[in-house]
Amino acid sequence: MQRGRLPMDLVLCWGAQIADALAAAHAKGIIHRDLKPGNLMVTKTGIKVLDFGLANSAKASTRRRATPTPRTASRTILGTPAYMAPEQQEGKECDPRTDIYALGLVLYEMATGRRMAQDQATPFEGLPAILLQTVRPVLPEIRTSAGNRQPTSESH
């Protein structure tokens, strides 16, 4: 994917395999929560979806909701900002749609060779809302100290 856009037949073939993989996980009540190109491996037999480190089962999260957790723990945001769905960015409960959102971004990237975040108008649009609240007040400071230079590197 780093080498640019993929031919449409590969996008469809691999996309369908990833969708299949997600469907199998969702059927078991497992949400991956960190689907991104870096967690996909192309093998002789097709795509492998890796790194279930952030995966949680729907059952486990229901249990967790029953016991009150400290505010900080419940607001911990895990994932990769560029591929996170809005509810995940806001630290809210994730469900299968969270993975489908990430799949959409992966498909976009496979088809265009560009990351969705790169195509967004402002460099900070892709930032999670909570991070944005933290970052926004200091933005003018950063811009002033940088001498009104445009940001040159990606922020995430």
CB of 84 to another protein, least distance (A): 17
Q: What are phi and psi of 64, to 5 degrees?
A: -65, -35
Which of 9, 20, 34, 51 does the annotation list as catalytic?
34
Pick one of 6, 11, 21, 105: the residue that binds another protein (CB under 8 A). 21
User: Is 99 a known active-site residue?
Assistant: no
Choose among 9, 15, 24: nearest CA to 47.
15
Residue 74 as a binder of another protein (CB under 8 A): the answer is: no
Dist CA 26 CA 96 (whole Å): 6
Binding to another protein (CB under 8 A) within 84-103 occurs at none
| Strand pairing class (46-49; 30-31) | unpaired
Contact characters 23-62, another protein, x per CB under 8 A: -xx--x-x--------------xxxxxxxxxxxxx--x--
The tokens describing 45, both together, are: 């037999």
Measured between its terminal Cα atoms, the distance across the chain in Å is 18
Residues forming the active site: 34
Contact residues for another protein, defined by CB under 8 A: 17-18, 20-21, 24-25, 28, 30, 45-57, 60
